[in-house]
Amino acid sequence: MKDVLIFAIPAVVLWVIVLLIYLRKKSVDKKATEKVVGIVLSNRTYMVGSSDGASYGRVSLVEYTINGKQYKKEFQINQLIYFHRVPIGQKRGLPVNSKVELRYNPTNINQIFSAVDNQFGKNFMIFFFSVFALFFTLFPILFLLKEIGIYF
């Protein structure tokens, strides 16, 4: 029975992570109902230092207009890479003067994000954690069947 618990705990944790990511995504989708098109003004590269070494990221300064008022905000916008209409990855940043679709919450315009990032990143994380959760869910079931006396 200890074998079942050892593998059941990581499976439960992974399923909880999947559920939290999914609920967060749905909450943002429900609130961010309005769309606006912004223009990329510039790109900036930044460095994130860690014990493993430095990694680099890229943010784009985007200008957009909501209710007649212009705003400028930095976003980490990732452009999708497609293989036969299937998104397989992301390029970081967009060319200057390119248009980007933004979604925002009309009751709180500070809650704004790129629609492109919403498409791929969270869906990929949900898929990734679901695969591992499913993998870890099979082990407790197999150990339980073994204890009952059913072998494969």
How far does Cα 69 stand from its chain's mean position? Answer: 29
Could you give the count of Cα atoms lying within 13 Å of 50 in the half-sphere of its Cβ? 4
Q: What is the pLDDT of residue 79?
A: 65
Which residues, other chains included, contact 74 with Cβ-Cβ below 8 Å and sequence gap of 6+? 44, 59, 60, 61, 62
Q: What is the pLDDT of residue 80?
A: 67
Which residues, other chains included, contact 83 with Cβ-Cβ below 8 Å and sequence gap of 6+? none
State pLDDT tens for residues 20-52: 988 887 887 788 889 999 999 998 887 777 666
pLDDT at residue 88 is higher than 80: no
For the packed helices 2-31 and 115-148, what is the interaxial angle rounded to 10 degrees?
160
Predicted TM-score (pTM) above 0.75: no
State pLDDT tens for residues 100-137: 899 999 988 888 888 766 555 667 777 888 888 888 88
Q: Which amino acid is at 97?
A: N
